[in-house]
Each structure stands twice: as structure tokens, then as C-alpha cells.
């Protein structure tokens, strides 16, 4: 079931899309805020000559909205057209271009090769915000089944559209929740990035998957899923189409991966039944997260998606759910070993975390 959004412009020309549950019709009003004109070339890509990795320089993000009062939340409905990014009296799910984007350029001229001089390029790409609900105090785990399915179908819609844009190499849907993670808006929401390059971790996983295919003739991610199901000690929950497990080499104190049982590269490959199954298991795991301690668990949710081209053909859609909380009162900080050297040290055992989550 593909969905068609209602599209409206915001005051500065950015695009706003309303996605609605069956039988509901949004009623937006004109956005009457006196917003400044968007600045072309406001972000830049710079290549680190030591690693070949791209760094996004986006100084305009210094001025982004920071912990506003609840009555000034830019994601709550704004029926006057003067207070919100969503000029309407109510909505189910909305997506709009980020007002303070990391990637924003309108053209794709390709990224420079080589390491001579100072390789740089305009920050081409797309950054969107997705608000899961008009309820300021809600959460993804608290959505009912139909509403959660609408969010997933919205991710699916945006993935399909962004993948067709020239120069977009990777579409990344994600959510950060909790001040401990660095979230500056408490309204339940996520983001969607269209990168003009493969991100470093994606590229590293694909290199491993390509080598595994050459050595064994099978898909690496499918083998990981089969091994985790066969072992069973780290499986948290499963349904007809997906399995959630704590990975064998978990890097984070709480980390759960969700894999489809069928090989698909991204959300656009899932059928309606699989979309509903994914929404159910995703809410299930997030609900367990929130029952782990006395307060809701801060987390990051990352949807790994791939396209059907030579570089990404071995990619297998999966989700990582991660938390920095290592106990009820302690956080995991990414200090020198993790942040500088990329050498993660986990203070919990994956098997113990999986058992605790199964019990919830």
C-alpha cells in the first residue's frame, strides 16, 4: 500500500509533506512566519586526506532551535501559521526539509577524487525531519499499530523518492531520543538524510560483505542472521518476518539489531505484510527499552539501507537500536579509545543484555 502525501510550501520555500491515516484529511494553513531566505552553498564537504572520509561542515547549524519551551515547540501543530514548522491544527505524520540542514545544495556535480590540496565540494544532499505524531509528549513505542505502520510507510515513501535524486548515494532514516544522546527537541521525531557518498561504516560493512561473497558464495548479513537464530542466546524477540537480537560483538551497553527473514536491500522492497511486521517488532523492542529502567531509555535508531548497484549489492536491510545507558544511573561516554581510535569497549555482555530484554 503506497501512500501519497499532501505537499505544501513553507514560508522560505522548503517542502512540507502531510501523511495521514485512512479517513483523515489534513487541513494546513499558509505558513506566515517571516523566515529568512535560505542561503545557497551554506554547507560544504571536505575530504580528510588521511582517511579519505568526507566531513560535513555546516556552520549554520549553530543557530538551530535548542530546547524550546513546550509552548514554542516547532513540531507541535501551529494553526495560526505563525508558530510552527507544521502550520495546521493537527496532523498524523509530517515530513519537512530541515531548516538547519547539514546537506542542502541543489545540484550534484560529483565529488572530487584524489588527496592533492584541499578537496572540497558543495554540501549537496537532503536533510528532512519526520514528526511521528502531533502529541508532544508521545513516543514511537506509544503509537498504536496503525500509526506506527504509517511512520514506516512514510520512511518507505521518502526512501523511494530520495533514492531517485541525482547524486544521492545513501538514504539514512534515524531517530535520536533523549537529552543524553544530544536531542534538542523532545517532541517525538526522527530525521532522514540523503548523503552524496557512502558513509564510512556502510562502506566498511559492504567491503566485508563483498569479501564474504567471494570467499563463501553467500551473503554475510544473511549468515549473521542465521547464526544468531541458530545460537539463540542473544535473540530478544521474533515474529513471522523479522528477528531482533543483541549482536555477538555489541559495541554499546544496550544494542539490538532487527533483521528481516527475507533478503531485501531497503524499505521499498518490503511488501505490506512485512511493513506491518516490522512496525510491530520495532515497537516491541522500543517498549522493552522503556521498561529496562525506571525512566525511558535514551536511544539511537538507525535504518541501514542499500541500493541495487555494484557497490551496494550485498547490502541487507537491517536496523540498529542503541543506547548509551549502561546502568540505571550511569552512561557510556565515547572517550579516547572509541572516539579517537574507533576501538569500542563494552561494559556489558551481549548475552546478559539479551536475557534481560527477553524477560521484559
CA–CA separation, 355 and 44 (whole Å): 45
Helix (H, G, I), strand (E, B) or coil at 205: helix
Helix (H, G, I), strand (E, B) or coil at 164: coil
Q: Which three cell numbers stand for residue 236?
A: 530478544
Q: Are 242 and 278 in contact (CB under 8 A)?
A: yes
Closest CA to 10 of 102, 96, 129: 96
Tell me the residue ranges of DSSP E strands in the chain: 6-9, 15-19, 44-47, 54-57, 93-97, 120-122, 126-131, 170-177, 189-195, 235-238, 242-245, 254-260, 299-304, 318-323
CA–CA separation, 288 and 284 (whole Å): 6
Determine which one of 67, 147, 157, 189 is catalytic: 189
76 labelled binding-site residue: yes
Query: Which DSSP helix (H) or strand (E) runs through 355?
Result: helix 350-359
173 labelled binding-site residue: no
- Say how many C-beta atoms besides its own lie within 10 A of residue 136's C-beta: 16
Helices 220-231 and 200-216 cross at an angle (nearest 10°) of 80
Provide the terminal-to-terminal Cα distance of the chain, rounded to the nearest Å: 33
CA–CA separation, 219 and 222 (whole Å): 5
Catalytic residue list contains 189: yes
Q: Which three cell numbers stand for residue 10?
A: 513553507
127 labelled binding-site residue: no
187 labelled binding-site residue: yes
Closest CA to 257 of 206, 318, 177: 318
Kindly report the length of the chain. 360
| Positions marked active-site | 189
Amino acid at each position: 500500500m503506497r501512500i501519497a502525501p499532501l505537499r505544501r510550501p513553507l514560508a522560505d520555500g522548503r517542502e512540507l509533506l502531510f501523511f495521514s491515516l485512512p479517513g483523515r484529511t489534513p487541513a494546513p494553513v499558509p505558513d506566515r512566519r517571516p523566515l529568512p531566505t535560505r542561503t545557497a552553498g551554506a554547507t560544504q564537504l571536505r575530504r580528510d586526506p588521511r582517511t579519505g572520509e568526507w566531513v560535513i561542515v555546516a556552520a549554520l547549524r549553530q543557530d538551530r532551535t535548542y530546547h524550546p519551551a513546550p509552548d514554542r515547540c516547532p513540531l507541535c501543530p501551529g494553526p495560526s501559521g505563525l508558530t510552527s514548522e507544521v502550520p495546521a491544527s493537527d496532523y498524523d505524520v509530517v515530513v519537512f526539509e530541515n531548516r538547519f540542514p547539514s546537506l542542502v545544495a541543489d545540484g550534484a556535480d560529483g565529488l572530487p577524487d584524489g588527496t592533492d590540496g584541499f578537496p572540497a565540494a558543495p554540501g549537496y544532499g537532503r536533510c528532512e525531519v519526520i514528526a511521528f505524531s502531533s502529541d508532544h509528549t508521545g513516543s514511537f513505542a506509544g503509537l498504536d499499530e496503525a500509526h506506527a505502520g504509517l511512520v514506516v510507510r512514510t520512511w518507505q515513501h521518502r526512501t523511494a523518492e530520495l533514492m531517485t535524486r541525482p547524486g544521492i548515494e545513501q538514504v539514512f532514516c534515524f531517530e535520536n531520543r533523549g537529552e543524553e544522546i544530544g536531542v534538542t527537541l523532545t517532541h517525538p521525531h526522527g530525521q532522514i538524510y540523503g548523503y552524496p557518498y557512502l558513509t564510512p561504516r556502510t562502506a566498511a560493512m559492504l567491503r566485508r560483505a563483498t569479501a564474504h561473497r567471494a570467499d563463501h558464495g553467500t551473503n554475510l548479513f544473511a549468515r549473521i542472521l542465521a547464526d544468531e537464530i541458530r545460537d539463540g542466546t542473544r535473540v530478544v524477540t521474533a515474529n513471522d518476518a523479522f528477528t531482533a537480537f543483541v549482536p555477538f560483538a555489541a559495541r554499546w551497553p544496550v544494542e539490538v539489531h532487527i533483521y528481516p527473514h527475507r533478503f531485501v536491500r531497503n524499505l521499498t522492497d518490503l511488501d505490506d505484510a512485512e511493513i506491518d511486521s516490522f512496525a510491530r517488532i520495532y515497537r516491541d523492542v522500543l517498549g522493552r527499552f522503556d521498561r529496562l529502567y525506571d525512566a525511558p531509555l535514551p536511544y539511537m535508531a538507525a535504518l541501514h539501507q542499500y541500493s541495487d548497484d555494484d557497490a551496494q549489492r550485498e547490502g541487507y536491510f537491517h536496523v540498529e537500536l542503541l543506547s548509551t545507558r549502561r546502568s540505571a544511573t550511569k552512561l557510556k561516554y565515547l572517550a579516547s579509545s572509541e572516539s579517537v581510535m574507533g576501538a569500542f569497549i563494552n561494559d556489558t555482555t551481549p548475552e546478559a543484555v539479551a536475557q534481560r530484554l527477553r524477560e521484559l
